[in-house]
Amino acid sequence: MRAVRFHRYGGPEVLDVEDVEPRALQPHDVLVRMRAAGINPGEAKIRSGELRERLPATFPSGQGSDLAGTVVGIGPDVTRWQVGDDVLGWSWERSSQAEYVAVPEDQLVAKPEGLAWEVAGALYVAGCTAHAAVAAVAPRPGETVVVSAASGGVGSIAVQLVRRAGAHVVAVASARHQDWLEAHDATVVPYGEGVAERVRQAAGKAPDAFLDFYGGDYVRLAVDLGVPPDRINTIDYAAAATYGTRSDASAEGTKPEVLAELAGLAATGALEVPISAVHPLAEVRQAFEQLEHGHPLGKIVLLP
């Protein structure tokens, strides 16, 4: 099969698509013919070496957690799936950016009819991270929640989950994506110099909670705005340790029932997963260039 590989740390230029053998199925494994695989900022950070202390790569390394496709093989002890089932789920093995992927049967859920493949393949990392982050701050009806990086893959889903909880959203994002965010009932605040004052004006009071999907100084901004630390959730683990905030992410949100819930919402149109671009597997370098430098709305997806 063809699969994404890299043999050293670096930029997107170190990515190649190579011929490899699918790994052997274990008794409870399922072999999925991939139809779509979302790409994520965390994968870029692993590939660049930025996370080598916490999440080192073993070379040659594959890539990818998000997956959606059709079951084409099952281990002898598999009871949940049959050949021909359409599924979505996740891989813990950095292996889904490929034509086939083998995963344990309990890391898959059924793909609802009507759910587009590119959405199914983009849902795991962004959706489960957003679900965990929103649950960590527990927004209530009438509250105000600030969301940084609100137009990204995770932020765009989190905005909608906060609104479903009945809270108001102040979205810190690029002005390029203002129309999409306003269509989802968010008040948009452009990032950059002066963002603190713009957030104060948009909120009209001290925000009740803060979801940070960017890092940097946003946790300090949330504290300065008067948000209690236990109602701040961030992707910045160092800042979370410094200020005593929450840092729930995909690890906390990774549950089959969560992914199935999100897939059901997306299939009915109750949750939009914006797809800014799709690329064939051979264009994986271009896909990551766009992700890392283009500030896309929502998700970018590979179609193996």
Instruction: For the sheet with 144-148, list strands across it.
Output: 186-190, 168-173, 144-148, 209-212, 232-234
| Predicted local distance difference test score (pLDDT) of residue 183 | 98
∠ CA 279-32-17 to the nearest 5 degrees?
40
Q: From 237, 238, 239, 213, select the one nearest 224 (Cα to Cα).
A: 239
Task: Spell out the domains of the chain, with CATH numbers in brackets.
Answer: 2-122+274-303 (3.90.180.10), 126-251 (3.90.180.10)
| Predicted local distance difference test score (pLDDT) of residue 2 | 98
∠ CA 144-146-149 to the nearest 5 degrees?
155
pLDDT in tens, the chain (304 residues): 999 999 999 999 999 999 999 899 999 999 999 999 999 999 999 999 999 999 999 999 999 999 999 999 999 999 999 999 999 999 999 999 999 999 999 999 999 999 999 999 999 999 999 999 999 999 999 999 999 999 999 999 999 999 999 999 999 999 999 999 999 999 999 999 999 999 999 998 899 999 999 998 999 999 999 999 999 999 999 999 999 999 999 999 999 999 999 999 999 999 999 999 999 999 999 999 999 999 999 999 999 9
Range list of β-strands (E), the chain: 2-5, 16-19, 29-38, 66-74, 86-90, 100-104, 108-110, 144-148, 168-173, 186-190, 209-212, 232-234, 275-280, 299-303
| Predicted local distance difference test score (pLDDT) of residue 278 | 98
Element (H, E) at 257: helix 256-268
∠ CA 147-150-156 to the nearest 5 degrees?
115
Question: What 3-state class would DSSP assign to 195?
Answer: helix
Residues 204 and 187 sit within 8 Å (Cβ to Cβ): no
- Long-range CB contacts for residues 114-118, cutoff 8 Å, separation at least 24: 114/267, 114/268, 115/88, 115/263, 115/266, 115/267, 117/35, 117/36, 117/68, 117/303, 118/36, 118/275, 118/278, 118/301, 118/303
| Predicted local distance difference test score (pLDDT) of residue 144 | 98
